[in-house]
Amino acid sequence: MNPQKKFHLVFSLLMGAMMIFVMTFVITLVNVGYSDAFLLTWMKAFVIAYVVGVPVIFFLAPVARKLTAGLVGAPQ
């Protein structure tokens, strides 16, 4: 695997983990509150969101970069 593809894959895995960690924590806390069911509910939400979110980041990040470059007039 070339370094650019490896970078994109690792970026997607890490960005997905960080973003999904925070978002599922906040949304689970809002919906369930800090109760006995919180940790298990949050972990379930995290796993499901990670499985869905990482491929979305992997495939849409290049599109977002191109759109951003076009909007701000930066080279692609």
pTM greater than 0.85 (yes/no): no
First-residue to last-residue Cα distance in the chain:
22
As a whole number of angstroms, the distance between CA 68 and CA 62 comes to 10
Report pLDDT digits (tens) over 34-54: 999 999 999 999 999 999 999
Say how far apart CA 47 and CA 70 lie, in whole Å: 34
What is the mean predicted confidence (pLDDT) over 5-28? 95
Average pLDDT over residues 17-25: 97
Domain extents in the chain: 13-62
